[in-house]
Amino acid sequence: MRRALITGITGQDGSYLADLLLDRGYAVHGLVRRPEAPAERIAHVRDRLTLHAGDLLDQQSLEDALLASRADEVYNLAAASSVAASWKDPAATGETTGLGVARLLEAWRRARPEARLFQASSNEIFSAGGSVDESTPVAPRTPYGAAKAYAHHLVLAYREAYGLFCASGILFNHESERRGAQFVTRKISSGVAAIKLGQAEELRLGALEPQRDWGYAPDFVEAMWLTLQREQPADYVLATGRAASIRDVVALAFAHVGLDWREFVKTDEALKRPVEIEPMVGDASKARRELGWQATTGLETIIGRMVDADLERLANVGPA
């Protein structure tokens, strides 16, 4: 039985990856700060997981988890993952999302170097507009992007210096019914559901013009797994190649429940980011060619599933 260790297992991507690996016969281990704490996203498989107490801020805890799990594959999905929040506390973002990867890589090199490691990188390491791929110069414009860029370069350095199997997936936006409440797509789907159920009268958002390449999280965790099945490690842009604006997402969400978004959405200057990256899409042709992977779930389907999940949640338990 192959063994995997997932950091960030209680998050959106971690929970979907746990589902995928369990379905493929893995013994799945997860790194969490407090194993006894409730974790909604993995509750349905909790009795099939082995959780280890640990933190990206504590290198010894990482070594202990690697030794205890005897992992064949390590997936680092833990991070301070909100771009907006990174502007409020850039030091904390750098500590976890950047230096945390340094601690993990060193713990892995010492405790379990025979394992293969996947690092969740981000399109926020880029600032160029248009279509970007693995050769696009790294030039972040946000604290989150800067921390991810440090981690991205460090993975390459460990691969070249020590000959270890470590690879990065440069992930563009990917959403799902398990998306965190702090992300704009979930704010939209939850807000639309609340309005439809009569629990709210308006939805306040920042800028509606920014565009993103939006994918579906279950599609993306498949690519993570495929990346570690290759004979040689490599980095891959993981994206749909299609852009849509926040306004487009809003329109799809309200249309899903038969409402006109213009009657309910209010823009709020306080919710806008200090800096917006240029509109970009990811060129995932390398992933298609070498991994046989491509994003298959369209944006309308993704947003519809998110709205339906929030309608069910709010109808059962009321407003969050």
- Tell me whether residue 124 is one of the annotated catalytic residues: yes
Task: Name residue, tokens 């230096």.
Answer: 99
Rounded distance between C-alpha atoms, residue 151 and residue 145, angstroms: 10
Residue 63, exposed/middle/buried by CB under 10 A (0-12, 13-18, 19+)? buried
Residues 196 and 119 in one domain: no
Judge whether 268 and 205 are in contact, CB under 8 Å. yes
Give residue 318's pLDDT.
Answer: 59
Instruction: Evaluate whether 100 touches 113 at the Cβ level (below 8 Å).
Output: no
Q: Are residues 165 and 209 in the same domain?
A: no
pLDDT at 268: 85
Q: Identify whether residues 153 and 44 lie together within a single domain.
A: yes
Q: What length is written for the chain?
A: 320
Q: Is residue 162 part of a domain?
A: yes
Together in a domain, 94 and 226 = yes
Residue 59 domain boundaries: 3-174+214-238
243 torsion bin: left (phi>0), alpha (psi -120 to 50), beta (else): beta
Would you say residue 262 lies in a domain?
A: yes
The secondary structure element, H or E, covering residue 53 is strand 49-53
Helix runs in 49-142, H state only = 59-69, 83-88, 90-93, 100-111
41 and 137 share one domain = yes
Tell me the pLDDT of the chain (320 aa) as tens digits: 999 999 999 999 999 999 999 999 999 999 999 988 889 999 999 999 999 999 999 999 999 999 999 999 999 999 987 887 898 899 999 999 999 999 999 999 999 999 999 999 999 999 988 999 999 999 999 999 999 999 999 999 999 999 999 999 999 999 999 999 989 999 999 999 999 999 999 999 999 999 999 999 999 999 999 999 999 999 999 999 999 999 999 999 999 999 999 999 999 877 777 767 778 999 999 999 999 999 999 999 999 999 999 999 999 875 55
Amino acid occupying residue 277: I
131: closest CA among 18, 311, 281? 281
Task: Classify residue 165: in a domain, yes or no.
Answer: yes
User: Can you give the CATH number for the domain in which 221 is found?
Assistant: 3.40.50.720
Which residue in the block uniquely carries the two structure tokens 């398990």? 178
The CATH code of the domain that includes 259 is 3.90.25.10
- Do 126 and 146 lie in one domain? The reply is yes
Tally the domains of the chain: 2
290: in domain:
no
Does residue 292 sit within a domain? no
Q: Which two tokens stand for residue 265?
A: 């959405």
Residue 119 counted as domain residue:
yes
The C-alpha atoms of residue 125 and residue 48 are separated, in whole angstroms, by 35
For residues 165 and 198, state if they share a domain: no
Say what angle helices 100-111 and 143-162 make with each other, to 10 degrees: 20
pLDDT for the residue 35: 87
**What is d(CA 234, CA 166) in angstroms, rounded to the nearest whole number?**
8
In a domain? residue 112: yes
Q: Are residues 139 and 197 in the same domain?
A: no
pLDDT of the residue at 37: 83
Q: Is residue 291 part of a domain?
A: no
List the catalytic residue out of 63, 69, 81, 124: 124
Q: Say whether 122 is catalytic.
A: yes
Of 15, 81, 122, 168, the catalytic one is 122
Q: Name the one residue in this structure whose structure tokens are 């690996």.
A: 21
- Tokens in use for 1? 């039985």
Q: Are residues 147 and 189 in the same domain?
A: no
Give per-residue burial for 310-320: e unless 16+ CB within 10 Å, then b.
bbeebeeeeee
**94 with 209, same domain?**
no
Q: Which of 206, 225, 172 is nearest to 84 (CA)?
A: 206
Q: Are 32 and 7 in contact (CB under 8 A)?
A: no
pTM of the model: 0.95
Pair of tokens at residue 83: 């771009």
Catalytic residue among 16, 144, 158, 236: 144
Say if residue 8 is in the same domain as residue 86. yes
Query: What is the pLDDT at residue 38?
Result: 81
What is the C-alpha to C-alpha distance for residues 60 and 104, in angstroms, rounded to an integer? Answer: 9
85 with 122, same domain? Answer: yes
